[in-house]
Amino acid sequence: MNEVANFCEIVGADVDKVRLGMGADERIGSRFLFPGIGYGGSCFPKDVKALINSGHKHQFSFKLLEAVESVNQYQKIILIDAIQSHFGENLKAKKIGLWGLAFKPNTDDIREASSLDMIEALLALGVEITAFDPAAMENVKRLYPHQIKYADNMYEAAQDADALIIATEWPEFRNPDFDQLKEVMKGRSLFDGRNLFDLVEMQDKGFYYKSIGFIGSHVIRRFVDQYPHYHIVNIDSLTYAGNLENLIDVEQKENYSFEKVDITEAEELEKVWQKYLPFAVIHLAAESHVDRSITDPNAFIQTNVMGTANLLNLSVKFWELDPSHSHGHFPKRESLTNLFYHVSTDEVYGALGEDGLFTEETAYDPKSPYSASKAASDHFVRAYGNTYGLPFVISNCSNNYGPNHFPEKLIPLCILNILNEKPLPIYGDGKYTRDWLYVKDHARAIDIIFHESQAGKTYNIGGWNEWKNLDLVKELIRQMDQKLGREKGSSEKLISFVKDRPGHDRRYAIDASLLDKELGWKPEYTFEEGLSETIDWYLENQTWLNHAASGAYKDYYKKQYQ
């Protein structure tokens, strides 16, 4: 609005009337802000372009709108970067199917269609394109009569294709026969510009599918914004809980880069290391859901143990380490150079009784495949410090909550189910107790530890917020009933006690006093404050929540809780 106000002053318009006019349009809302390869997701850019052109006529530059225009032009071809990253720079002779040519479904309008920009980019790379659109093919044929092929149906467009791009969200593209698709395609790569499907579901069906993790996204955002002189390289394999939408606000920053690499793939990881030559590592990558570790422990061993070992090996290989610093004898830190920061969990300590707190001296006693894999990774980090003189710090945190959290976790799961008036599954008698840490407090703690801790240290990070699961859910119900305008306590009828999971630890609680004493960190949010802010975020981002909870998540939920 600031730039609009400046322009109003030049042309003699009343900015208040402009503001009221914009605000009165009920079409402007969060449901139109879901990302995609179209302009602003799926918006037509005529208003933005008209304002920019009007500004030029009056020698006025809409800097913000020009930036918006630039970002959205790039957004049209963002999948091309993903395709090149996946296949390599040389795409010559690759065959790609293209579903959708129109600007949006239910029209033959191709003005501003992202498909045209992608066609130009792919042709320049030597790609063979076969396209299908229910309505817009004749219009595109006038522009590309011979340069690309046109199919009679969606499966013909995918015939012998190395990859498939979805550019328009036509209804028929939302429910394809995936078995037939696998039969006709040569490859198994699907680049979805409209976020029609669930990542896990696509992986389960055997596809490579082109959403970044939870705590990591908050740490990355903080470091990118707070330290513009750093270059932050985000390495993520985009598993089921990962979502690039979590970092859409930083992806265009000059000091941020993203590399889609699985840390279990040592050779690919080394390529990233050689490309950027990082001076420090903050290791947040992990399989983290206890329930999933019980059904698929090998995935946790691979990522949490072998992935950590790969990062440690590269640190030793590329950093100039001083052997005299082995056996944990690290000098006082004078710089951030060559620091390996490993982020871990309080679950490595096992379970507590009714009293007491986990301290940094508590012996490890993991009870689940997840906590065992994290305990092993903690030990490997300390072993590399002891053996090779690798400077390290470790932090063990309590349960995190906050915006962008994948809805397999208790709080976002219950928010989703309260919204949809579905059962709220609670294990056992509901008296399992956890300490809760707001993710923004956690990101701030990681920042402080990274910059101020001495090498070889371990810190516990906790929120000083112990809650029994049943009491937590009732507090969540209280706040949500109030925010949704429902009768007080009306959602308590949704509480449903389910069979306990194997090896369920009764109580976790962290003593975070050492971090306060040595580095001055304390949580800034009470649980009630953080929970309220979290609920507000999910209520304002229901499209994100519903998208995250689609597809294979539904099958997982049914298996786990029903």
Q: Among 20-34, 306-320, 391-405, 476-490, which stretch is predicted with the lowest mean pLDDT?
A: 20-34
Separation of CA 489 from chain center:
33
Write down the pLDDT at residue 35: 46
462: number of Cβ within 10 Å: 27
- Are 346 and 510 a contacting pair, CB within 8 Å? yes
Q: Among 115-129, 252-266, 298-312, which stretch is predicted with the lowest mean pLDDT?
A: 252-266
Give the alpha-carbon dihedral of 368, 373, 376, 378, to 10 degrees: -100
Write down the pLDDT at residue 29: 42
Q: Are 2-75 and 214-561 in the same CATH fold? A: no
Q: What is the mean pLDDT of the chain?
A: 81
Q: Among 106-115, 190-199, 306-315, which stretch is predicted with the lowest mean pLDDT?
A: 190-199
Write down the pLDDT at residue 317: 93
> CA triplet 511, 336, 249: central angle to 5 degrees?
80
Beta pairing, strands 466-468 & 433-438: antiparallel
CA atoms lying within 13 Å on the CB side of residue 339:
21
Q: Which CATH class is domain 2-75?
A: mainly alpha
Extract the tokens encoding 133.
């659109």
Write down the pLDDT at residue 3: 47
Got the DSSP string for 214-241?
HHHHHHHHHHHHH-TTS-EEEEE---TT
Write down the pLDDT at residue 65: 57
* C-alpha span between 99 and 133 (Å, rounded): 6
Q: Which residue would you say has higher pLDDT here, 69 or 429? A: 429
- Are 93 and 129 a contacting pair, CB within 8 Å? no
Domain ranges of the chain: 2-75, 87-208, 214-561
- Are 525 and 445 a contacting pair, CB within 8 Å? no
Q: Which residue would you say has higher pLDDT here, 321 or 251? A: 321
Extract the tokens encoding 291.
């329930």
**Quick check: 41 pLDDT over 50?**
no
**Quick check: 548 pLDDT over 50?**
yes
3.40.50.720, 3.40.190.120, 3.40.190.80, 3.40.50.12780: which CATH number matches 87-208? 3.40.50.720
Q: Which amino acid, 527?
A: F
Which residues have a catalytic role annotated? 346-347, 370
Write down the pLDDT at residue 148: 96
Extract the tokens encoding 214.
């939870």
Where does the pLDDT of residue 63 fall: very low under 50, low under 70, confident under 90, or very high at 90 and above?
Answer: low
Got the DSSP string for 105-152?
SS----TT-HHHHHHHHHHHTT-EEEEE-TTTHHHHHHH-TTTSEE-S
Per the document, the length of the chain is: 562
Task: Convert the pLDDT of each residue in 448-467 to its tens digit.
Answer: 999 999 999 999 999 988 99
Q: Which residues pair with 395 in a beta bridge?
A: 343, 459
Write down the pLDDT at residue 420: 87
* C-alpha span between 355 and 347 (Å, rounded): 16
Q: Residue-wise over 252-282: b if at least 16 C-beta within 10 A, else e?
A: eeeebebbbbbbbeeebbbebbeeeebebbb
Q: Which residue would you say has higher pLDDT here, 53 or 347? A: 347
* C-alpha span between 199 and 550 (Å, rounded): 9
* C-alpha span between 189 and 83 (Å, rounded): 9
Task: Convert the pLDDT of each residue in 83-135 to its tens digit.
Answer: 876 776 678 889 999 999 998 888 999 887 888 988 998 999 999 999 999 99
Among 19-33, 37-51, 286-300, the range with the most confident prediction by mean pLDDT is: 286-300
Q: What distances in angstroms separate CA 192 from CA 35, 61, 534, one per listed residue?
A: 12, 35, 28
Q: What distances in angstroms separate CA 5 from CA 1, 66, 147, one per listed residue?
A: 6, 16, 46
Of 292, 178, 240, nearest to 559 (Cα)?
Answer: 292
**Quick check: 250 pLDDT over 60?**
yes
Task: Convert the pLDDT of each residue in 128-183 to its tens digit.
Answer: 999 999 999 999 999 999 999 999 999 999 999 999 999 888 889 988 999 999 99
What is the CATH topology of the domain spanning 214-561? Rossmann fold (3.40.50)
Q: Find the DSSP H helices in 398-526.
A: 410-419, 439-452, 469-483, 513-519
In the predicted model, what is the mean pLDDT of residues 197-214?
A: 61
Q: Which residue would you say has higher pLDDT here, 299 or 29? A: 299
Q: Which residue would you say has higher pLDDT here, 538 or 70? A: 538
Write down the pLDDT at residue 141: 96
Task: Convert the pLDDT of each residue in 469-521 to its tens digit.
Answer: 999 999 999 999 999 999 999 999 999 988 776 766 788 889 999 999 999 99
**Quick check: 237 pLDDT over 80?**
no
Q: Which residue would you say has higher pLDDT here, 78 or 70? A: 78
Write down the pLDDT at residue 311: 96
- Are 229 and 236 a contacting pair, CB within 8 Å? no
Write down the pLDDT at residue 290: 56
Q: Which amino acid, 476?
A: L
Give the alpha-carbon dihedral of 517, 519, 520, 522, to 10 degrees: -90
Extract the tokens encoding 186.
């040569």
Write down the pLDDT at residue 202: 72
Got the DSSP string for 155-218?
HHHTTT-SEEEE-S--HHHHS--HHHHHHH-SS-EEEETT--S-HHHHHHTT-EE----HHHHH
* C-alpha span between 387 and 407 (Å, rounded): 40
Q: Which amino acid, 53?
A: N
**Quick check: 331 pLDDT over 70?**
no
